[in-house]
Amino acid sequence: MREIVWDTETTGIMPGDGHRIVEIGAVELIGRVPTGRSFHTYVDPCRPMPKDAEGVHGLSTAFLTGQPVFEAVIDDFLAFIGDAPLVAHNAAFDMEFLNWELRRARMPAIPVSRMICTLELSRKKHPGAKHTLDALCTRYGIDLSGRTKHGALIDAELLARCYIELVGGRQIGLGLDEVAVPETAAAVPVCAGRTPRFFAASEAELARHAAFVGGLTDPVWLA
b (16+ CB within 10 A) / e for 79-105: ebbeebebbbbebebbbbbbbbbbeee
Is residue 207 in a domain?
no
Is residue 62 in a domain?
yes
Is residue 152 in a domain?
yes
- pLDDT value of position 194: 55
- DSSP letter (8 states) at residue 186: P
The residues carrying an active-site annotation are 150
Global pTM reads 0.75
- pLDDT value of position 186: 46
Is residue 120 in a domain?
yes
Could you give the number of structural domains in the chain? 1
Is residue 32 in a domain?
yes
- pLDDT value of position 102: 98
Q: Which of 114, 64, 123 is nearest to 87 (CA)?
A: 114
- pLDDT value of position 197: 57
Contacts with 45 (C-beta within 8 Å, 6 or more apart), sequence order: 11, 19, 20, 21, 22, 64
Asked whether the beta carbons of 25 and 154 are under 8 A apart, the reply is: yes
Q: How far apart are CA 177 and CA 168, in angstroms?
A: 18
Is residue 87 in a domain?
yes
CATH code, domain with 73: 3.30.420.10
- pLDDT value of position 195: 56
Q: Which residues of the chain have pLDDT under 70?
A: 170-199, 223
- pLDDT value of position 196: 59
Residue-number span of the structural domain to which 160 is assigned: 2-166
- pLDDT value of position 152: 95
| Residues 54-80 pLDDT 10s | 999 999 999 999 999 999 999 999 999
